[in-house]
Amino acid sequence: MKLLDLFSGIGGFHKGFEKAGFEFDWVGFSDIDKYASAVYKYRYPDAKELGDITSIRPERDLPDNIDILCGGFPCQAFSVAGRRKGFEDTRGTLFFEIARILRHFRDTEKPIPHFVLENVKGLLSHDNGRTFAIIYRVLTDIGYTVECQLLNTRWVLPQNRERIYIVGHFGTGSGCKVFPIGESGQVSYNRNTEVASTLQHPGHSGGNYKGMNMIDTGLKQVKAVLTLDRKEKRQNGRRMKEDGEPMFTLNAQDQHGVLVKEATKKGYAEAKVGDSINLSVPNSKTRRGRVGKGEAQTLDTGMQQYTIDKTAIRRLTPVECMRLQGFPDDWNEKGIMDGKVVDMSDTQRYKQAGNAVSVPIVSMVAERIKDGK
């Protein structure tokens, strides 16, 4: 089988299809991020690097037939964080490059049987649904039966990450139906076991990952508390100031967490050991939902998510981010650049995790495609 992996990142689609039992004798991958491509080359040294999707010429760069096309096409143009410019943004127009390649294989009478695309939830509502309607119409005009579903990583991993998956089968009588998968809100993992196994980082007990106390964060949104009903009482000889500023760091005797300021009627959310805290846009007066109860919130490229250990607040590690996306711990530790194996910086590893697809979710979709073939 042959796989065309577009906007390939660090290979989440490839890995997901592999986990579902697919074996490929040819793989081509395309991404403009040289660091992500370096990881891809390290993990899949036999794959063919195709570079920028706009430069791909199917008749020149691709084999005569492709079995699976996949791609998490750029989502910034459709996300709230990206100001939702959609097709007005050059990143939004890259969808039409996917359509161009699909159309080429149809016109050569060797249509690609299946495609799987992924994007942010905001794609569905962007421009009052007109953007998604255009995408749907373009794909069906090429000749595909198209189905989609909003899937959440939290169904299989402790990360609340909603993404729209779009699956296409060429022709109207393929008989292959992938969706629906699961049920809305379904959580199929053991939350306590999964969180405990995810939020640990062997080999990273010190150095850059040394626990930070609340004062070290420098963010006033995070404030230590004793308990809400004991603010004025001493505990271990310490007292909380009236304004809520911490006079201490957490220790094993403090069986509580921290208050995180957010724009709700209550004014804060309480985070405890094992919860995540999103500290992006720290001065926002409208941000809410900063605390993930027993799970991470959606990983992004800036990686401003923290968690609470027994004694401190600390940033999630690159290893934990890989686990939250369903990759092996060391998946993006190294890459190949200029023919040499190099170490990836933490900055790049965080960015790669935020841009990646969740491997188990891809695998669930791939299994349905395999069963219907």
Q: Give yes or no: 75 in active site.
A: yes
- Provide the pLDDT for residue 190: 59
Predicted pLDDT at 256: 58
Which residues fall within 8 angstroms of residue 369, CB to CB, at 6 or more apart? 20, 68, 114, 116, 167, 176, 178
pLDDT for res 170: 95
The predicted pLDDT at position 270 comes to 85
Reported as a single tens digit per residue, the pLDDT across 74-103 is 855 444 444 545 445 544 578 999 999 999
For the chain, what's the residue count? 373
Q: What is the pLDDT of residue 207?
A: 29
Give the residue ranges of the chain where pLDDT is below 50.
Answer: 77-82, 84, 86-87, 90-91, 184-185, 202-221, 224-255
pLDDT of residue 235: 42
Give the active site residue among 70, 75, 148, 321.
Answer: 75
Q: Rounded distance, CA 367 to CA 168, Å? A: 15
Alpha helices in 1-119 (DSSP H): 12-19, 34-43, 58-61, 95-107
Query: Closest Cα to residue 320, out of 281, 274, 289, 280?
Result: 274
Q: Tokens 């979710």: give the residue.
A: 361
pLDDT the model gives residue 4: 98
- The residue whose two tokens read 């650049």 is 337
pLDDT at 287: 82
Q: Residue type at 155?
A: W
Q: What is the pTM of this model?
A: 0.83
